[in-house]
Structure 1
Amino acid sequence: MRVVIAEDNVLLASGLQLLLTSEGFEVAAVAGTAAQFLAAVRDHRPDVTIVDVRLPPSFRDEGIRAALQARRERPGLPVLVLSQYVEQQYAAELLSSTTAGVGYLLKDRVSRIDTFLDALHRVAAGATVMDPDVVAQLLARRAGDPIDALTPREREVLALMAQGHDNRTIAADLVITDNAVHKHIGNIFAKLGLAVTDTGHRRVLAVLSYLNGTA
């Protein structure tokens, strides 16, 4: 699987390159700026990309802008964005797309190798991946509305749904049956007024849209 990385921190970029190479990925290019990243995507046509939200020269939103531009040029290009802090605005911008294959993780997740690699594989396969800390903040921000009607178990299921996990993974994580997960999800969607027919990526977007207050 061919990867292009956009990361200006030399140590982190080198660490990512070493890790991915050891895991069988082909790192086609490591870019330090948004312009270099876009050029590398055009030249190498990667299977998945990893992009830091903040890149030179201003270290504000060059990375997220480059990621969005790359997806406009190559619709469906899998993009896993890394951020030092929880920045809900950037997460919302990335996930506003109607296509799949996007992820938003805090850089701390990179040190949790299994978690990071799982997220990268899921994004490359077309899934939506959301950092648990971002989801936790969104849940907390929606206090005082229909989310309060959810049971503790339903809130756990909702959080895992928002992170992009499928029913089987949710069942394994919570040590419950697939049928129980299906029932909880039905209850959640009914209480939040979301369409129960939404599945996969659309389901994640529906939940995140609700948590962002835009549903």
Structure 2
Amino acid sequence: MHILIAEPRDILRTGLRTIFAEDERISQIYEAATQETLKACLSSKPINLIIINTSMMSNIKDLPRGKFVLLAPEVDIELFLKAYKHGARGFLSENAPAELLRATLGLAEGSFLIEPKMTVPILDLFSGDLRFAVKEELLTPREREIVSLLREGTDRRTIAQDLHISEATLKTHIKNITRKRTESTSLSLPREINQPEISR
């Protein structure tokens, strides 16, 4: 098996190389410390699996579907969903344990490994209403107020009364928020999601 480690920091890249070099399934390890080197490796090397830090990505669709594992400094729900949709093998922290990293080598096609310590924040985000999981900077001040109240569980009639707007105006604001959420993630999600679907 040929793997590519895409990590900009020398110390972490060396650590990852050491972890994978100990596995007898690995016959070749390539390394990329820059996006230019990453692109060159992707176009010229026979790679079975890419272990890539999210800081090295410009567009997730540049990665071969089903042949990559993301290493993230923290949970980014939008990136998590994009990775899942694009067939990632796993979503792990930058400091994932060696045994978890090596476990990605033997995953069956269609599997998606989530680091256990990341599951709680991911489930917390999924347990909310994803229609309002949107980047704050895309919202107007009024839309931010509405999202904040919706996340607190305030019903729409009360929100309209508290903000001194009609329910029709509130409905328009919510439609705009939903549109911005969809545009910012480029994902088609069901209107109501109570829990994530982890298996494909």
Distance apart, 1:53 and its partner CA: 0.2
Relative to 1, partners in 2 of residues 1:142 and 1:41: Cα closer, same or farther, differing over 3 Å? closer
**1:127 alignment partner in structure 2:** 111
Q: Figure out how many residues of one structure are paired with residues of the other and give that number.
A: 135
CA distance in 2, matches of 1:42, 1:116: 24
AA aligned to 2:71 is L
**1:88 alignment partner in structure 2:** 77
Q: Secondary structure at the match of 1:108?
A: coil
Distance apart, 1:104 and its partner CA: 0.8
**1:139 alignment partner in structure 2:** 123
Write the deviation string for residues 59-115 of structure 1: whole angstroms up to 9, x where unpaired.
xxxx262x42122xxxx3410010111111211111123xx4521101221xx2212
Q: Secondary structure at the match of 1:211?
A: coil
AA aligned to 2:124 is A
Q: Secondary structure at the match of 1:38?
A: helix
**2:7 alignment partner in structure 1:** 7
Write the deviation string for residues 25-47 of structure 1: whole angstroms up to 9, x where unpaired.
13442001223112102211211
Q: 1:70 aligns with which of 46, 55, 63?
A: 63
AA aligned to 1:22 is E
**1:102 alignment partner in structure 2:** 89
CA distance in 2, matches of 1:34, 1:52: 11
Relative to 1, partners in 2 of residues 1:119 and 1:28: Cα closer, same or farther, differing over 3 Å? closer
CA distance in 1, matches of 2:44, 2:115: 30
Structure of greater relative contact order (alpha carbons < 8 Å, 6+ residues apart): 2
Normalising by structure 2, report the TM-score: 0.57
Distance apart, 1:143 and its partner CA: 4.6
Normalising by structure 1, report the TM-score: 0.54
Distance apart, 1:212 and its partner CA: 6.1
Q: 2:99 aligns with which of 91, 114, 117?
A: 114
Q: Is the 8 A contact 1:80 1:120 kept in 2?
A: no
AA aligned to 2:31 is V
The structure with more helix, counted as a fraction of residues: 1
Q: Is the 8 A contact 2:127 2:195 kept in 1?
A: no
Distance apart, 1:6 and its partner CA: 0.6
Distance apart, 1:2 and its partner CA: 0.5
**1:21 alignment partner in structure 2:** 21
Which structure has the larger Rg over C-alpha atoms? 2
CA distance in 2, matches of 1:142, 1:101: 19
CA distance in 1, matches of 2:58, 2:70: 7
CA distance in 2, matches of 1:11, 1:18: 11
Alignment of 1:21-60 (within 5 A): 21-24=21-24, 25-55=26-56
Q: Is the 8 A contact 2:5 2:31 kept in 1?
A: yes
CA distance in 2, matches of 1:137, 1:121: 26
Cα RMSD of the aligned pairs, angstroms, is 2.9
Distance apart, 1:210 and its partner CA: 5.3
**Which runs of no fewer than 5 residues in structure 2 stay unpaired?**
130-188
Q: Secondary structure at the match of 2:74?
A: coil
Q: Is the 8 A contact 1:138 1:211 kept in 2?
A: no
Percent identity among equivalent residues? Answer: 16
Q: Secondary structure at the match of 1:51?
A: strand
